[in-house]
Amino acid sequence: MQHEKMKNERIDELIAEYLSGHLTADAFQELKSWSRESEENRRYVRDKIEVWFSSGAAADEKKMFDKEEAFARFQKRVANERPRVYRIPWKIVYRVAAVILILLLPLAGYWKGQETLRQTFSDIVVEAPLGARTKLYLPDGTLVWLNAGSKITYSQGFGMDNRQLNLEGEGYFEVIHNQELPFEIHTREVDLRVMGTKFNFKNYSDDEEVTVNLLEGKVALYNGMKSMPELYLSPNEKMVMNKRTGEMRKLKSRAENSRLWTNDELFFDEELLQDIAKKLMRSYDVKIEIADSLKNRRFYGSFRVMGNTIEEVLETIASTNRMKYRYENEKYILY
């Protein structure tokens, strides 16, 4: 009994620290794990949050949780004919909503307006349309450039208890350093984990290869297609994965070139022609078809998108005498 009381006091402290903004990432994991051990634990956390929030104890961010005082204030508030209105800072409300979402939604049907809460905390999706690029800053301050036809998805709690996102396409990232919250990118074939660094990650669903170029810092890559130890990159190294075999290779590179597209420049570093064609289709929003005999050929080159038409780019590639092209039926055919 004494042990249970001490445990509950510990949970009370964790809840108070979270709502006052002083809970560490490890302590938050402790609170979350405990709440998910049983329905009784989830109910306990739910009740304590209600007492804290309803009593107005959360109005003072620096004040530690006193359950006796909070409950007394709660009873007094209910007894009054005109309930007192507490002006609670928005970030406190946000934390309460976040902890309710994370810890309490498993109690299906309990929380009124649960569907509204889900919609309020639905994932954020940012896309770059074909023929354009998108620049944005994530809630933690990380700079992201999305190339044409790319998309990232992350939760509204990003930066609070995790820094995880899903990527479809190509993105350049300048990640703000945070030792307690690693930055993670998830794709179907490869996952990436860093603390803070600069890198370019390309993995369009219709590409034959995944590539990661590291400009600064260090990244860890995890193969989602086959079992193997994590692969680490150092500056001016790149990882290339063959999506058919799951093979990951580490190569030397001039990593700075991988982000030239953020300056409206196309750069091909011995890339497969079929992947180059896809890059051109996204950048110029055109259709390109490639003969089977050319699909495994690789090309090196650099072009400005603005100021160069798709015909001028194709003409330059064709000048190597390794391919020809023509335009018919509203598409470019490479042969």
pLDDT of residue 113: 41
d(CA 14, CA 41) in angstroms, rounded, equals 13
Cα dist from 10 to 5, 13, 30, whole Å = 9, 5, 10
Which one-letter DSSP state was computed for residue 305? S
Digit-coded pLDDT (tens) for 20-64: 556 677 787 788 788 878 878 877 877 676 555 544 444 444 344
Instruction: Give the side-chain half-sphere CA count within 13 A for 2.
Output: 0
Q: How many CB atoms lie within 10 A of CB 268?
A: 19
Domains of the chain are 2-120 (no CATH), 123-253 (2.60.120.1440), 264-335 (3.55.50.30)
pLDDT of residue 283: 87
Estimate to the nearest angstrom the gap between the alpha carbon of 153 and the chain centroid.
6
pLDDT of residue 288: 95
Give me the chain's average pLDDT, please: 79
Evaluate whether 124 touches 156 at the Cβ level (below 8 Å).
Answer: yes
Whether residue 228 has pLDDT greater than 70: yes
Q: In percent, how much of the chain has pLDDT > 70? A: 73
- Do you know the residue count of the chain? 335
Q: Which residues pair with 242 in a beta bridge?
A: 209
- Residue whose tokens read 């406190």: 92
- Helix, strand counts (H, E) of the chain: 8, 18
